[in-house]
Structures are given as structure tokens and as C-alpha cells.
Amino acid sequence: MTRPLSFVVAMGENRVIGRDNRLIWRIKSDLKFFRQNTIGRPVIMGRKTFLSIGKPLPGRENIVLSRETGFAPEGVHVAGSIDEALRLGEELADKMGADEIAVAGGADVYAQLMPFVSKIVLTRVKAAPEGDAFFPAFDEGQFTVSFHEEHVAGPEDDHDFAFIIHERIMA
Ligand SMILES: NC(=O)c1ccc[n+]([C@@H]2O[C@H](COP(=O)([O-])OP(=O)(O)OC[C@H]3O[C@@H](n4cnc5c(N)ncnc54)[C@H](OP(=O)(O)O)[C@@H]3O)[C@@H](O)[C@H]2O)c1
């Protein structure tokens, strides 16, 4: 890989990220942060996350992972393996002049791409609702925090939250 791979994820205090294939909070500021960190880049996601979003993310090249051969929704690139998704990500980043490839989840895809990630753009939500999808544990010792901003919930946010960027320490 020639470009950094960045995860963009909102996680609760219990590592929860979703329930019944949807988000479990409404935090408008986080949607803006997600956009800022993915716009103009190729974005890799699993089929379940794509179905949960419901449409291709505008202003980005959407790469959707699926092993189903018949899966071919309009407006996205389908990848049948992690290798293919990363290859496509590089190719599309070249065309777009993008500096990074983003990963938008979900749990299954984050877990498989964890060995390759160089940056984790995390929204740490100050709540622990029940869920069925969790962000995988990662070794924080292998990362340094390059950005940390605490936020009190605004009128359109369900909970307080913090934006934290972890960057992998290069050996
Ligand atoms: N809070 C957040 O930041 C955030 C972000 C994203 C998602 N989420 C939540 O996470 C949950 C979804 O996560 P999830 O783990 O259930 O599903 P997911 O990772 O979104 O999608 C899993 C699907 O991706 C495909 N896939 C995975 N690995 C593959 C591989 N190596 N090769 C080819 N295809 C592959 C398979 O699709 P096929 O079955 O078609 O083969 C698999 O069923 C939802 O609740 C969503 O709301 C939260």
C-alpha cells in the first residue's frame, strides 16, 4: 500500500458501534466530522454498512465489500475480497488525487483491516447503549494521539463526545 488507510468510527464506552444494522445515537456534529474525514477519498465499507446507509456517499468513491456475486448496486464499486478492496482503493485514490483511503466499517471490516490501518479517526461517544456490533480492540501502545478534542452535546447531539485521532507509530 502506498497511501495511509484511515478508519473513521464512532464508538461508545463499551466499544459499541451499532445495533440491528443501524447507528444507536444521533450526533449531528459527528456526521459532519465523518464527512470531513472521508470527502474526496475512496471509502471502503462492508455490505451491511452500505445497506444501513442506504445509498452511495456523495463526493466519495464507495467501495463495498461483498462475497455475493449478484450484488451490484448502482453508483458503487463492489470488491469480493480485502485485497481487491485495497487495490481498488489505490486505483481510485490515484484518479481522485486523494491522499488517503478511508474505511467506514462495520465491525467485520474494521477487524479484517486492522493490521493495515495507519490512522484511527475516532468519535468516542460518552454513553454505553446496548448493541450487537463492536469496534475491535487495538493496541493503543502502537499508536500516538495526534488530536483530542472534548465536546459537550449540542442541541442536535444525543451525548457528549470526543474526537480523538490515533496515528500508528512507524517502526
Ligand atoms: N458507529 C460507527 O462508526 C459505525 C460505522 C459503520 C458501521 N456501523 C455499524 O456496524 C454494523 C455493521 O457491521 P457488521 O460487522 O455487521 O457488517 P459490515 O462489516 O458492514 O459488513 C459485513 C459484510 O461485508 C462483506 N464482507 C466482509 N468481509 C469481506 C471480505 N473479506 N470479502 C468480501 N466481502 C466481505 C460481507 O458481505 P456479504 O454478506 O454480502 O458477503 C459481510 O457480510 C451496523 O450496526 C452499522 O450501523 C457503525
Q: What is the pLDDT of residues 56-113, one digit of tens each?
A: 999 999 999 999 999 999 999 999 999 999 999 999 999 999 999 999 999 999 999 9
Which residue stretches of the chain are H helix? 28-38, 47-53, 82-96, 107-113
pLDDT band at 35 (very low <50, low <70, confident <90, very high): very high
What CATH homologous superfamily does 5-168 map to? Dihydrofolate Reductase, subunit A (3.40.430.10)
Query: Rounded CA gap, 42 and 89, in Å?
Result: 6
Question: Is residue 71 within 6 Å of ligand 1 at its C-beta?
Answer: yes
Question: Is residue 44 within 6 Å of ligand 1 at its C-beta?
Answer: no
pLDDT digits (tens, 9 = 90+) for 117-170: 999 999 999 999 999 999 999 999 999 999 999 999 999 999 999 999 999 998
Residue tagged 447531539 (cell numbers): 157
Domain boundaries, the chain: 5-168
How many alpha carbons fall within 13 Å on the CB side of residue 151? Answer: 22
Query: Rounded CA gap, 27 and 126, in Å?
Result: 11
* Closest atom of ligand 1 relative to the 84 alpha carbon: 32
pLDDT band at 2 (very low <50, low <70, confident <90, very high): confident
* Closest atom of ligand 1 relative to the 22 alpha carbon: 47
Number of alpha helices (DSSP H) and beta strands (DSSP E) in the chain: 4, 10
Query: Rounded CA gap, 59 and 17, in Å?
Result: 24
Question: Is residue 104 within 6 Å of ligand 1 at its C-beta?
Answer: yes
Question: Is residue 72 within 6 Å of ligand 1 at its C-beta?
Answer: no
Nearest CA to ligand 1 atom 8: 106
Query: Rounded CA gap, 121 and 119, in Å?
Result: 6
pLDDT, residue 154, reads 94
pLDDT, residue 170, reads 85
pLDDT, residue 1, reads 74
For residue 128, what is its C-alpha cell? 454505553
